[in-house]
């Protein structure tokens, strides 16, 4: 069960944790020569495009599907690891790695080969802005980064002021039904629920992504159901229909491609989630 849960976490993040980007021993600027950027996770790809550096991307990770231009680039990493030989052949001047998602040994080997590696770690929603600011400073796009992150943080704080009022509503957040998978207190999606004045129904779980039964959900009686799924709403409702005599919580749908990633797009989905939970 523990191995299965770890695999689920990695898959979530690629369908598509200190709080600052780690730029230890990097030169003052990576823009001193023509930038050739490789990203090792989908959210890092989005950061590059957000800063207007899409033309400098030479390769990305699997599931880098936003924006559309990223789909045409070579893929050199997935949840199983990085393709070091392919990366070396592309001769990047800057590699963006996910500290907490990419394999530490892959990052260490890339650094050992002399590549500049920007290591980004996200544990809180605000860390998205901190990392983009650090990346902007590294790539001479500091003003663009400042503008983007200022807006992001202002809108995030506005959502918190509007919705983040205790007591938190108990919410059943799930991604799969076979098996039925939900989230624990420290899981990334619960941080989104907290902004909206809610918390996971299984905050007492000892793991971040536990498998539960329908009976457990019915016993705990959530106030909302949140499905992180790209299935149709009709399909999602069909699963709960046999239990509606005992469960009246309304069903809300979110896009897992957005909610599982540390990107600036997160706010749009978060606004919709908060409105549904209210």
CATH topology of domain 12-160: Rossmann fold (3.40.50)
Q: What are phi and psi of 223, to 5 degrees?
A: -85, -20
pLDDT of residue 165: 86
| CATH 3.40.50.1980, the chain: domain bounds | 12-160, 164-277
Three-state SS string across 23-75, please?
CCCCCCCCCCCCCCEEECCHHHHHHHHHCCCHHHEEEECCCCCCCHHHHHCCE
pLDDT of residue 13: 46
Nearest to residue 183, comparing CAs of 166, 163, 195, 199? Answer: 199
Q: What is the pLDDT along the chain (278 residues), one digit of tens a residue?
A: 433 443 444 444 444 433 445 544 444 444 446 999 999 999 999 999 999 999 999 999 999 999 999 999 999 999 899 999 999 999 999 999 999 999 999 999 999 999 999 999 999 999 999 999 999 999 999 999 999 999 999 999 999 999 998 899 999 999 999 999 999 999 999 999 999 999 999 999 999 999 999 999 999 999 999 999 999 999 999 999 999 999 999 999 999 999 999 999 999 999 999 999 99
Domain 164-277, second-level architecture: 3-Layer(aba) Sandwich (3.40)
pLDDT of residue 6: 39
Alpha-carbon dihedral 88, 94, 99, 103, rounded to 10 degrees: 0
Q: Assess contact for 209 and 188: CB atoms under 8 A.
A: no
Pairing mode of beta strands 176-177, 180-181: antiparallel
Q: Assess contact for 262 and 126: CB atoms under 8 A.
A: no
In eight-state DSSP terms, residue 242 is G
User: Using CA atoms, how far apart are residues 67 and 54, in angstroms rounded to an integer?
Assistant: 9
pLDDT of residue 61: 98
Q: pTM to 2 decimals? A: 0.87
pLDDT of residue 22: 53
- Residue whose entry in the numeric block shows the structure tokens 């030989």: 85
């Amino acid at each position: 069960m523990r191995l299965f849960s770890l695999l689920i976490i990695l898959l979530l993040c690629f369908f598509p944790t200190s709080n600052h980007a780690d730029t230890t021993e990097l030169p003052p600027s990576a823009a001193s020569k023509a930038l050739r950027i490789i990203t090792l996770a989908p959210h890092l790809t989005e950061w590059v495009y957000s800063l207007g550096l899409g033309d400098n991307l030479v390769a990305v990770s699997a599931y880098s599907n936003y924006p559309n231009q990223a789909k045409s680039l070579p893929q050199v990493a997935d949840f199983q690891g990085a393709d070091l030989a392919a990366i070396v052949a592309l001769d990047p001047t800057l590699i963006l790695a996910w500290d907490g998602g990419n394999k530490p040994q892959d990052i260490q080997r890339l650094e050992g080969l002399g590549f500049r590696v920007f290591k980004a770690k996200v544990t809180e929603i605000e860390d998205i802005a901190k990392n983009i600011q650090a990346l902007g400073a590294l790539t001479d796009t500091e003003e663009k980064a400042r503008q983007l992150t200022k807006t992001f943080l202002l809108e995030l704080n506005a959502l918190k002021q509007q919705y983040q009022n205790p007591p938190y509503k108990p919410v059943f957040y799930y991604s799969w039904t076979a098996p039925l998978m939900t989230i624990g207190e420290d899981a990334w999606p619960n941080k989104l629920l907290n902004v909206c004045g809610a918390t996971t129904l299984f905050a007492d779980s000892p793991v971040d992504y536990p498998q539960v039964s329908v009976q457990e959900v019915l016993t705990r009686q959530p106030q909302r159901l949140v499905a992180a799924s790209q299935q149709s709403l009709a399909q999602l409702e069909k699963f709960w229909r046999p239990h509606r005599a005992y469960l009246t919580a309304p069903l809300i749908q979110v896009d897992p491609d957005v909610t599982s990633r540390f990107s600036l797009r997160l706010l749009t989905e978060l606004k919709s989630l908060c409105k549904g939970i209210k």
